Each structure stands twice: as structure tokens, then as C-alpha cells.
A and B are shown apart, each in its own frame.
Chain A
Amino acid sequence: MSTSVSEPQAAQAIRIADVCKSYGDYQVLKNINAEVARGEVVVICGPSGSGKSTLIRTVNRLEEINSGGISFEGQNIHAAMRSSELNKLRSRIGFVFQSFNLFPHLSVVENVSMSPIRVKGVSPATAHEKALKLLDRVGLADKANSYPGQLSGGQQQRVAIARALAMEPPVMLFDEPTSALDPEMVGEVLSVMKSLAAEGMTMLCVTHEMGFARDVADRIWFIDAGEILETAPPEEFFKNPRHPRAQRFLADLRH
């Protein structure tokens, strides 16, 4: 974990404290407490409907919470603040969606360069150049002038990762990035994520790809019915899950 001593801010990139969230009577998140250290890769896994996606969407406040707080680099992102402040915080948290959500009216390179230009005020020429570099990094330099509708799902998701990286976020959140993909395209997206992890990016990923979790994650959070039941390094989690619900989840996966 690459925490430098001179860093004045908190050692944790993300700290989730006592977070509760309900939709009406239904409590989705129950008193969640967890941390992601700088440079750490955390995989959130658990059965569907357990609150994984809701949890990750609260981290950049795409979902509001009912109580608790989530601090990102020492700042509570759920505190009362001006919307311009929230936008600034959000621009420093990369988010990759299950359904890509590329902007279909913009070309691939415009998808990647638009937000640096419009949000950060980067000059169009610089943003364009940077976008081409990022597209090269995700292996799609030749698609720069295509439109999202012309790309496969795997290619679209790689563009979405490049788009998030263009804002130079210190943290990346992934909400089931491979769940909407055909099986043969899962690998290309995971390998981009692996290389990001290898470069020391702080990552919080909701995923069902247990192979990825085993190989790349520093820690796994197992979540069910809105509670984090177990956090453990992957080798420990996959060999000796402590919580009975986690044992059953892993047993079901092996069938």
C-alpha cells in the first residue's frame, strides 16, 4: 500500500462510518462501517439484492443516505455543502457503471475529453491529446472517432474506464463493470482493471468475478442483506470464510 508519510491527508482514501439507508420501510444498508486505504483494491461481493450497488453509489453520493457519513480524502461527501463543492468532489471519484452509460451523441474521443474540458477547464487540445493516450492505454486508439453505438460492449466499457480516468481521479469505483457483457468480452475489461490495480490505483469494485477478486483484490467485503458480514484478504476469504452466510455463498458459487 503506497501511503507516503508526507501525505497530510488521512491514510484512508474512503471511510464509511455508520451508514444507514432505507427505501421507505425497507432498510438497504444497515450500519455500514468500512475503510479503503490508499492504493488498496477492495472487492465487494455478495448475493444479488444485498445492497452492494447501493453502497458503492453512496460513495460518490449518487444515492443519498439516511444517517452516517462517508469521507473521501478526509472530507464528508454526505455533509451539507454547495452543489459546486459536491461536483468538485465527485469529479475526483471515477465511477464505472454496469451499463457503461457512454454518451451516444459524442464520438469516443469526445466522450473521454468532454468532462476535462467542461468541468476542469482543460484546453480542448490538451484534453484531446490526453484522451487519445488513455484510449491507447485501454487498447482502443483506433476507435477514437467511432461512436459508442458502433462498439461492442467490452469496447464500450473500456471507453467508460478511459472516460473516468480522464478526470485523473485518485479513486475508482466499479459497479458490476462486467455484468452486462457477453462472456467473451469480460476478459478485456478485467485486464484493463488489473493493469490499473497494478499501477497502484485505489479501487472499490462490486463484481461477481471471483477470479478477479482472488487475483487482484487486497481485501474482500462480503455483504448480505445490507450488512458487511466479513472482510478478509482473498486467500483467507476463499479458503476459510468465517461467516456461515459467506460459506454458503461460496458453496453456491462452486456448484
Chain B
Amino acid sequence: MIHDFIAIIQDYWLLLLIGQYPNGPLGGLANTLILSALAIAFAFPVSILMALARLSKWWFLRWPMTALVYVTRGVPLLMLILWCYFVIPLWTGADVPSFLIMLVTLVIYQGAFLSEVVRAGIVSLGQGQMDAARALGHGYMGAMRFVILPQALYNMIPSMISTFVSTIKDTTLGYVINVPDLTFAASQVNNQLLTQPFQVFLILAVVYYILCWSLTYVANSVERRIARRRAGPRNPRLPAEAAPLKTITEQL
């Protein structure tokens, strides 16, 4: 059994790592990492803009964004991916690479989820912080940037990590539109071996687990460091306060 794993990794590690590259497109784990990183990197600022639009006093920002969030949340990601994959080339006539389609779909989808997290973080701060900032002469955007968002985003780190982790996991759905990621590579390996699906997909699962766990670990330590700095060395309440956040992230 162990021997099987070692044999698979020995024979196919390069395919699993970078796909067909340099003879074909970059794939495998490298592509999964790039897709995840780009999706998170774009979804995060997009989600802040979406949250601000949903909280805006202007209906022409609020209404369309609310509609977008509701539709996105109420539709399976797979359906959204297929829809973009088939409809965008039809409408634009352009041959959009499936990687790009996957990226854009992920950014919209995860951006919508993340925007609800950000919005909850902003709303849960209460009116007092905004009042204080306005009373000191800050404009709305200044108050958001220097007072509200730093607190809201910090408070929402656990929920944001869980959205980031699900972004990584959702990149696997790129498989259905032939994005050559790690899942795609594993499936190719499986097709060649035919007899060892358990071993192949267990390797896949372990790699995804390590990936998601590392992200959670890094985010948790960042959060702890900020909390420690704010509470100071003398504050005995810190461990109790940090505990519930940890249990949430551990459910992932």
C-alpha cells in the first residue's frame, strides 16, 4: 500500500506539480496555487468594494450589488462556471482561456460571499466609531479607511479565512471546464493507472489539506500577533478571547 503511494509520486510528481509544462500549458499544483492566489488576491478588494456599495446611501450602487450578491449566493458555483464558460464566448465571440473564465467566476462568487462577511464586520462595529471619526472631521471614505475597515477586517479574520479556504477548494471545479490544475493532473494519472483511484485521490486530498491548513495556520498566527500587540503583556483576558476564534477556524 505505502509502496503504491511512493511509486505514484515517483512516477508522476512532475505531472502533479506542473502538469504538461513546458510541452503544454502550466498545470498541476503550480496552477492550483496560482489560480487560488489570484482568486483570493482579487476577491478580497472586490469584496470590500461590494460591501461598501451594499452599505451605500445611493440606490444605484446598493440595488444592483444587492441583487448580484443574492443571485450569486443562490446559485451553485458549478452552474455559474458552466454558464460563464459557454455564454461569454457566445456573447463576445472571443476565445477566452478557461483559466481566465475560472478566475473571473471565482472572484465574483467568492467576492460576493466575502462581501457579506465584510459587511457584517462593518455593521457589527456599531455607529459610535463612525460618529467619532466624523466628529473629528474625517470624510466617509477616510473614516472607512482609517477607522472602520481596519477593525472590521480584523474582527472578521476567522470568517475570511474560511472563505479563502473554500476558494482554494473551489478551484477544483475548474476541472469541468478543463482548467489544468492539480485535480486535472491527478485525474490524468488515474486514467493512466486505472487500478489505483484510492491511492491517487488520497494523494490529492492530502495535498489540498496541507494547502488549506497552512493558510489557516498563517492567518491564525497573524491574528494572534495583532491581538497580543493590542492587549499588551499584562492583559490576562487574551487567551479566553482568542479561544472562540480558533474553534471556528478548526471546523474547516
Report which A residues bind B (CB closer than 8 A): 60, 62, 83-84, 87-88, 90-95, 97, 99, 101-105, 114-115, 118-120, 146-147, 149-150, 163-164, 167
Contacts and interface: CB of A to CB of B under 8 A. Distances in A.
Interface string B39-77: 000000000000000000000000000000000000000
Interface in B134-149: 134-140, 142, 146-147
B131 A84 contact: no
B150 interface: yes
Interface string B97-141: 000000000000000000000000000000011011111111110
Given A101-B128, A118-B142, A149-B235, A95 B230 contact: no
Contacts of B232: 146-147, 150
Interface bin, chain B = 20 to 34
A92 B230 CA distance: 30
B140 A83 contact: yes
A91 B146 CA distance: 16
Given A101-B129, A118-B142, A95 B231 contact: no
Nearest to B147: A103
Given A83-B139, A87-B137, A95-B132, 6 more contacts: A83-B140, A84-B139, A90-B134, A103-B132, A105-B150, A164-B136
A104 B134 contact: no
B225 interface: no
18 contacts: A60-B135, A87-B138, A90-B136, A94-B135, A97-B128, A97-B132, A101-B129, A104-B151, A105-B150, A115-B137, A115-B138, A118-B142, A119-B137, A120-B137, A146-B232, A147-B230, A150-B231, A150-B234
A145 B154 CA distance: 20
B146 A118 contact: yes
A90 B154 contact: no
A255 B244 CA distance: 47
Contacts of B234: 150
Nearest to A146: B232
Interface of B: 128-129, 131-140, 142, 146-147, 150-151, 154, 229-232, 234-235
Contact of A149 (B133, B150, B230): B230
Contacts of A149: 230-231, 235
Nearest to A147: B230
B150 A97 contact: no
B157 to A, nearest CB: 13
Contact of A95 (B135, B147, B150): B135
Contacts of B136: 90-91, 95, 115, 119, 163-164, 167
A151 to B, nearest CB: 10
Contacts of B128: 97, 99, 101
A120 B232 CA distance: 30
Contacts of A167: 136-137
Contacts of A119: 136-138, 142
Contacts of A91: 136-137
Contact of B154 (A84, A105, A146): A105
A120 B29 CA distance: 50
B153 to A, nearest CB: 10
B233 to A, nearest CB: 10
Contacts of B135: 60, 62, 90, 93-95, 97, 164
Nearest to A99: B128
- Which among A90, A118, A149 has the highest number of chain B CB atoms within 10 Å? A118
Sorted nearest first, the 6 A-B pairs with minimum C-beta distance are: A91-B137, A101-B132, A95-B135, A115-B136, A101-B128, A119-B137
A84 B138 CA distance: 9
B151 A105 contact: yes
B129 A103 contact: yes
A62 B134 contact: yes
A18 to B, nearest CB: 24
Given A105-B150, A114-B146, A87 B230 contact: no
B191 to A, nearest CB: 52
Contacts of A105: 150-151, 154, 230
B137 A88 contact: yes
A93 B135 CA distance: 7
A119 B137 CA distance: 6
Contacts of B140: 83
A35 B117 CA distance: 46
B230 A62 contact: no
